[in-house]
Every structure is written in structure tokens, then in C-alpha cells.
Amino acid sequence: MTVGPTKPRVLIVGLGMIGASFAKALSLSQSATVIGLDAQPGVAEKARAMGIVDEAVTFSELKVSFDVVILAVPVLAMGSVLAQLKPWLTGDTVISDVGSVKGAVVEATLEALGELPSGFVPGHPIAGAERSGLAAAKSDLFDHHLLILTPLPTSSPTAVQLLTRLWQSVGADVVTMSVARHDEVLAATSHLPHLLAFSLVDTLARESENREIFRYAAGGFRDFTRIAASDPTMWHDVFLANREATLNILRRFQADLDVLADAIENREGDTLKSVFGRAKSARDYFTEILSSRQRHGDDIRKNLIAAPVRSGLTGQVEVPGDRSISHRAVILAALAEGQSQLRGFGSGSDNRTTLEALRKLGVCIEADDAGGLLVTGVGRLGLKAADSPLYMGNSATSMRLLAGVLSAQSFSSELIGDASLSQRPMERIQQPLQQMGARVDLSARKTAPVVMHPVTALEPLDYRLPMASAQVKTTLLLAGLCSGVSMRLQEAGPSRNHTELLLKRLGCPVHTDSGVVTLGPTSQWSGFNCDIPGDFSLAAVHLAAASLVPDSHLTVTGVGVNPSRLGLLAVLARMGARIRLMHHRDLGGEPVADIQVDYAPLVATDSEADVSGLTIDEFPLLFVLATQAQGVSRFSGIRELRFKETDRLKTMVEGLTTLGADIELKGGAVIIRGQNERPLDGGIVDCGGDHRVALAYVVAAQTALRPVIIRNSGRVLSAYPDFAEHALALGYSVTVED
Ligand code: S3P
């Protein structure tokens, strides 16, 4: 990957483990020319000889031009290094660092340079290793690790963009947050644990003569205190540089310890149980994130290899619970009064994100004996402030829907997300929420973090949605419900109506007529039982694959067939696909059926804006099918695809072109000239971490001439954990590359 038209020249000062690893990765990625500088004589030259940097310089001969400088020296040394560099900095130089404390770096910069230049954007990679020295430099150290940028009010967007691209080119997931928030977060998740580990080992060592006690310590002690073997000088720097934030969290921890000490002294078993129970649930969630990342989940860099099949796809399959309904059901259950039971809750990571966020907001959600969820609702005004920002991962639905709920609360909240989510538009919810009187802040680019400030009440809303979006509609309905105000929403086009159906079931005064949704003032609803049907958008993958592969006959059972989701079926019917809905039934107010599909040759079709809201997540599959249909297909009114997990118009046109399709983007429409039975070729495509795009390529590969390697498709497995297993059983050819 290259950054911009010309390669920037990046000066890295300090070639310790982090600096040298960044240098090595950057130079390997070919995204920059890397110049190394280290205070220790000979180190930069040695790094050049080892191929870690492209050029080596010393402070005494710094007559070299550079566009970016990255300070990879200890935090307390940053000021003096910057003072030495000052004569070589221009108004355009981008300045950043890798220090684990940000407030102190900002202060040191101000002191050294007399101002905070517009190119200055502090940074911090959340990656490290115990080993040090040039030989330990690891080019994959930042691969899929977080890089936090903390732009200042003075920072220029160009500097932020350039640094973002540089860090992304070495594999990092870039997120932004304020300096204060960064220092608070790190104080809690890194600095305090180090302090505790140092202190515990010290207490025990002094407690026992000759450190004899350690001979009896087992795994727990080892796990808990590993970090007490870290570098004392470095940590002394960190605590002095991040005094305020570490003291805050330390004092809170001391108070919590006192509670436990009192509980033990007074034999208050319930207090102990409730603290340990909460902690266990939080730790289980953390373990789950870590292990699902390792297994496959968030490891978007995993590749799927899909290959042509020799015979049809056959059999029967049941897909996970509907993602959209699961989000809505668990939120409404959390805000209900009393207990709710949800069966068939979506197994994908996005649904889990909403669930964990609600737990952090004080809702008790447990698994029941039958594999369902028991949610003890707190009432629409009963949520409690979370003690840290709520991490929404890759899930825009979680972020937008929860923003609706949280914008109506009397406490503040912050929603953050991964690199892809942090680039998705949030103004679409901010604007109408503000119209209701909510106080919602976004980044300068109108993206996450989404910060909600406390309000006492919201106003009723009469609003015309600028785009067909069930997410925006639901966000507003949730804000209206929580604040008990009425609203009238005029939709720009049809979109999924799961929220409206569920609200009607709960007895809330919601009505829909000719594209207008109205909600009357709502006081409260009670807990409910809900069976969640199979996810149509996941079923659609199998419907598309079987429509494409000759001799296929398969059935997807228990699928939600709400008409507001079935745009794909209407388009496929026009294309000649053979799809039948059977065994219609009702599941908690949502229509459900088994869907049977048989292979049939397809003809081209046109699809217009009026169906796009009903087909929104299925367009990648439709594009694939159109490449194999007879004639020219034209899909218009699909601008919203630009704002999904990736710009799906761009990713799909690029990928299918690579596979030999005749596809172009013209005047906002996608035009595909069908192959008239000429198969697609194989090749390497990149889905950019977008699971729907990856699944579309898996389908494409089933009738291609050669295998298709789908890069960055690990999220398929977090969105649809059993996909590989189901695909294998139905006869697909797809493997996950290790
Ligand atoms: C969703 C609505 C759609 C869809 C997304 C889920 C929902 O997004 O693409 O996967 O659950 O409301 P938009 O409302 O932004 O179109």
C-alpha cells in the first residue's frame, strides 16, 4: 500500500523495540521512506545495515528533509528531543509520538516549541513486547493492534489523515480519542495494573524472609504479577507523567478494596458474590473478545479460499437469529419493566456488542437453561452511566441505536468503534437528535466517537428522513420512547420495520401509514418473550449460491420473511430464480417460512431506488448473480451502499472486475453486462473486512474457473460463526486459511 501520490519521508527518533518495529514495518510496506535516528551512537547505522530503515542520520548531521517525525523515545525525554529537532521543523511537518501518556507529551511539546503546531497529533500504539533492541524489531507488531491518535483542537485534518494512513499501512486499527480520555483509559487498563503488580510482589517479598513464599506460588500468582518484571525506570516515567489519571483510578480502586475488606470482616457474603459475579462476567467478555480475535472473529486479516464446485449444493440449513431483530429485542427488553426471555438471539459479534453495552449500563442479562437470554429490564429511565466508553466494535447498528437510547438520559455516555466504524457517518443521527434537544457531539469528520451529554427531557419530533434507513428511524424511535415524547417520521423510502412490529406487540402507540411512522407518548412497557427468526440476509447467501450452481436444491429453514426485507426475492423472481416460501408461520409478530431454492438460469434485470431499502444488504450478492445472468443489469438508487462496512459500490466493482466481470459504475448506477454463460475467473480479491462482500465473493467462486482468495475476510466468521461448517455440509468449496 502506498500513501498518497508520493512517499512521505518519515524520521523515526529512537530505535528501541517500538520505534524499530514501526520503522521495519513501514519500510516493508513501501508506504514511506524511513529515516532512523537514535541518541546511541551507531544504532541508526546498524538499523540501516539490517534493512530496518532506508537512511540513517545522527543529531549532529541532521541536514535531511522529512515530512513526518515520530518520537519513539521515553515520555520524559520527548521535550528535549523536540527542542533539538526544532530548527528542522517546518510549518508543514507532521509530528507524532508513540508514548503511553499523552497529556505530558502535549505539555512537553508546548514547552519545547512554544506552540502546538498544526502538524502535531499525539499517538500511541497499543502493542509491545518484553524483548528490546534492534534484533527484536517485529514488522507485524502492530498488525491488527489498536493505534490511538489523540488529535488536538490545533491539529490539522491532513496531519491526522496522513498518520492514519501510515499506521494503517502497517496493519494497525486506528481510533481517535481525546488526550484526557486516552490518559484515563490507559491509567485504568495499563498503568494501574502495573502499579498493583509491582506493589503486590513487593509486599509479598518483604513479608517473607528470603522470598521463601514464592516457592509455593502457583499459576495465579504468575499470571497476576508477570508485568511486575517490567522496566522500573520506564514505569517510573509513566506514573510521573500521568499522575492525575492514575491517582483518580487508584483512589477508586482503594475505595473498592475497602468495600471488600469490610465485607470480609462483616461476613457479607452477598457483597462479595455480587462484586465477583460482576467481575467474572466482565472478564468472560474480555476473554471472549481475546479468544474470538485469536480464533477468527476480529482477525479480519484471515483469508477465505473459495473454489469452483463440481456438483450442486444440496441439503437443509438453519441460519443464526436475525441480527436486526436481536439488537432491537435486547434493547427493548433492557428498557422494559420486568423480565424478558429472548430465544434465538443472533450469534454474531455485533449482537454481542449491544448486549455487553447494555450490561455495562447496568442491565442484568443471563443465559437461561435453554440457551436463550433472560433480561431483567430496568425500565426506560433505569439505565446507569457506564464507567468508561462503550466499545461498539464494527457494529453501526449498535452504535446508532444505543445513541438513540443514551441521548435521552440524564447521564453522559461515549460510544467508540473500530477503524471501519470510526469512519462511518453519524451526522444522520446527530442532526435529528439535536432537533429533539439532545446534546450529541461527534468528531470533526462527523464520525464516532459519539458523545452524549446529560439532558433532562427531549422535545417531540416531526422529521423527514433524508435517506431510507431503518437504523436512523429506530434511533429516533428509541430516543422518543425513552423520553416519552411523540414523533412523526416521514421515511425517504421503505426500510425494515422490525422496530415498529415489536413496539406494536409491546402495546406502544406506534402507527405506520404511507411511509409515515408516528409514535405517541409512551410511558412504559413490560417484559416480554420473543422468538427471533433466522436471519434473511444470511439465508440470502445460500439462496444466491444455489441459484448460481447448476443442480442445486436446498432449503433454509425458519427464516424471517418480513416483506420489508425481501427485496432480493422480488428481484430474483424477475431474474428467473426458482425460490419458494413454505410453511408460513408467525414468530413473535414476525412472519417466518422455510425457503426452498432450486438452480435456474438467470436473466438480467433493472432495479430502482424504490426497492433498495428492502434489498440493502443483499446487493453484493445480486451483483455477483448479475455477472452470470443473460443480458445487461442495471442497479440504481443505491448510494447508501457507499456508507456500509466498506464503500460497497467501490469494493464490489473492483473485486468483480478482478474476477473478469464486465461491471461499471456510471452516474451512481452499477451496470453489469452478464457473461452469457462465460464463468468468472479466479484471483485475489479484498473485501476490506466487510463480511457481506466476502460472502458474495464466496458465492462467485462456486462457479468460477479457478479458486478465489478473499483477503481480510475473517469477519465472515464473527458475523456467521457456523458459516464454514454449514457451507461444507451444503457442498460449497470454501476453506479458512490459517
Ligand atoms: C439495519 C439497517 C440497514 C442495514 C444494516 C442493519 C438495521 O442499515 O444495512 O445491516 O438493523 O436497522 P441502514 O438503516 O443504515 O440502511
pLDDT digits (tens, 9 = 90+) for 50-74: 999 999 999 887 778 899 999 999 8
Residue 28, domain CATH: 3.40.50.720
DSSP assignment of 348-363: SHHHHHHHHHHHHTT-
Total count of residues recorded for the chain: 738
Is pLDDT larger for residue 48 or for residue 209? 48
pLDDT class of 588 with cuts at 50, 70, 90: confident
Q: Pick from 137, 159, 177: which residue ends a domain?
A: 177
Q: Is residue 523 part of a domain?
A: no
Among 471, 489, 536, 590, which residue has the most ligand 1 atoms within 8 Å of its CB, making it the best to mutate?
Answer: 471
Q: Which pLDDT value is given to residue 285?
A: 64
- Determine the Cα–Cα distance for residues 316 and 321; give it in Å rounded to an integer: 16
Q: Pick from 247, 267, 287: which residue ends a domain?
A: 267
At residue 4, does pLDDT exceed 50? no
- List strands edge to edge, sheet with 450-453: 390-391, 413-416, 450-453, 439-441
**146 shares a domain with 106:** yes
Summarize the confidence of residues 370-391 as an average pLDDT. 89
Q: Compute how many other C-beta atoms are within 10 angstroms of the C-beta atom of residue 41.
A: 8
pLDDT class of 273 with cuts at 50, 70, 90: confident
pLDDT class of 411 with cuts at 50, 70, 90: very high
Owner of C-alpha cell 452469457: 676
**670 shares a domain with 627:** yes
pLDDT class of 591 with cuts at 50, 70, 90: very high
Q: Which pLDDT value is given to residue 297?
A: 40
**335 shares a domain with 412:** yes
Q: Whose CA is nearest to atom 16 of ligand 1?
A: 469
Q: Which pLDDT value is given to residue 131?
A: 62
Domain span at residue 39 reads 9-177
First to last CA, the chain: 22
**676 shares a domain with 568:** yes
**166 shares a domain with 32:** yes
Residue 225, domain CATH: 1.10.3660.10
At residue 206, does pLDDT exceed 90? no
Angle at 375 between CA 369 and CA 376, to 5 degrees: 120
Per DSSP, 634 falls in state: E
Q: Is residue 279 part of a domain?
A: no
Atom of ligand 1 nearest to the CA of 617: 9
- For ligand 1, the distance from its centroid to the CA atom of residue 644, given in whole angstroms, is 9
476, HSE (Cβ side, Cα atoms, 13 Å):
34
Residues 525, 352, 542, 669, CA torsion sign: positive
Among 325, 332, 616, which residue has the most ligand 1 atoms within 8 Å of its CB, making it the best to mutate?
Answer: 616
471 ligand 1 Cβ < 6 A: yes
Cell of 318: 438453519
- For ligand 1, the distance from its centroid to the CA atom of residue 470, given in whole angstroms, is 6
pLDDT class of 130 with cuts at 50, 70, 90: low
**627 shares a domain with 577:** yes
Residue 553, domain CATH: 3.65.10.10
Cell of 365: 442479562
500 ligand 1 Cβ < 6 A: no
DSSP assignment of 448-468: SPEEEE--S----EEEE-SS-
Cβ-contact 361, 389 below 8 angstroms: no
Angle at 440 between CA 438 and CA 444, to 5 degrees: 150
Cell of 157: 485534518
Summarize the confidence of residues 516-539 as an average pLDDT. 96
At position 654, the amino acid (one-letter code) is E
Best CA proximity match to 324, nearest among 491, 583, 501 = 501
Q: Which pLDDT value is given to residue 61?
A: 77
- For ligand 1, the distance from its centroid to the CA atom of residue 529, given in whole angstroms, is 24
249 ligand 1 Cβ < 6 A: no
Summarize the confidence of residues 402-411 as an average pLDDT. 97
**499 shares a domain with 389:** yes
Q: Pick from 123, 156, 177: which residue ends a domain?
A: 177
Contacts for 93 with CB less than 8 Å, ≥ 6 apart = 66, 67, 68, 69, 117, 119
At residue 738, does pLDDT exceed 70? no
**161 shares a domain with 205:** no
Which is it for strands 9-13 and 33-37: parallel, antiparallel or unpaired? parallel
pLDDT class of 391 with cuts at 50, 70, 90: confident
Summarize the confidence of residues 682-700 as an average pLDDT. 95
- For ligand 1, the distance from its centroid to the CA atom of residue 407, given in whole angstroms, is 20
- Determine the Cα–Cα distance for residues 87 and 91; give it in Å rounded to an integer: 11
Summarize the confidence of residues 168-188 as an average pLDDT. 89
- For ligand 1, the distance from its centroid to the CA atom of residue 662, given in whole angstroms, is 29
Q: Whose CA is nearest to atom 11 of ligand 1?
A: 324
At residue 718, does pLDDT exceed 50? yes
Which is it for strands 439-441 and 450-453: parallel, antiparallel or unpaired? antiparallel
Best CA proximity match to 126, nearest among 30, 191, 78, 77 = 191
150 ligand 1 Cβ < 6 A: no
Cell of 671: 451496470
At residue 289, does pLDDT exceed 60? no
Q: Is residue 39 part of a domain?
A: yes
Summarize the confidence of residues 439-462 as an average pLDDT. 94
DSSP assignment of 382-428: -----SSPEE-TT-HHHHHHHHHHHTTSSS-EEEE--TTGGGS--HH
Q: Is residue 500 part of a domain?
A: yes
Among 322, 323, 324, which residue has the most ligand 1 atoms within 8 Å of its CB, making it the best to mutate?
Answer: 324
663: phi > 0 → left, psi -120 to 50 → alpha, else beta; which?
A: beta
Highest mean pLDDT among 124-133, 186-195, 557-566: 557-566
- For ligand 1, the distance from its centroid to the CA atom of residue 56, given in whole angstroms, is 50
Q: What are the residues facing 373 on neighbouring strands?
A: 342, 367
Atom of ligand 1 nearest to the CA of 324: 11
- For ligand 1, the distance from its centroid to the CA atom of residue 378, given in whole angstroms, is 26
Counts of helices then strands in the chain (DSSP H, E) = 25, 32
| pTM, full prediction | 0.68
Distance between alpha carbon 93 and the CA centroid of its chain, in Å? 31
Q: Is residue 527 part of a domain?
A: no
**54 shares a domain with 193:** no
395 ligand 1 Cβ < 6 A: no
From residue 121, alpha-carbon distances to 68, 98, 146, 542 in Å are: 11, 11, 16, 46
476 ligand 1 Cβ < 6 A: no
**229 shares a domain with 153:** no
Cβ-contact 228, 200 below 8 angstroms: yes
DSSP assignment of 96-115: EE--S-SHHHHHHHHHHHSS
Contacts for 605 with CB less than 8 Å, ≥ 6 apart = 571, 574, 575, 626, 629, 633
Q: Which pLDDT value is given to residue 295?
A: 38
**199 shares a domain with 147:** no
Q: Which pLDDT value is given to residue 290?
A: 60
What is the helix, strand, coil percentage profile of the chain, to 5? 45, 20, 35
Known catalytic residues?
A: 617
Q: Is residue 227 part of a domain?
A: yes
In whole numbers, what is the pLDDT of the chain averaged over residues? Answer: 91
615 ligand 1 Cβ < 6 A: no
Contacts for 602 with CB less than 8 Å, ≥ 6 apart = 547, 548, 572, 575, 576, 577, 625, 626, 628, 629, 630, 674
**402 shares a domain with 340:** yes
Q: Is residue 424 part of a domain?
A: yes
Is pLDDT larger for residue 46 or for residue 284? 46
Among 353, 469, 638, which residue has the most ligand 1 atoms within 8 Å of its CB, making it the best to mutate?
Answer: 469
Cell of 4: 498518497
- Determine the Cα–Cα distance for residues 417 and 389; give it in Å rounded to an integer: 10
Q: Is residue 111 part of a domain?
A: yes
Tally of domains in the chain: 4
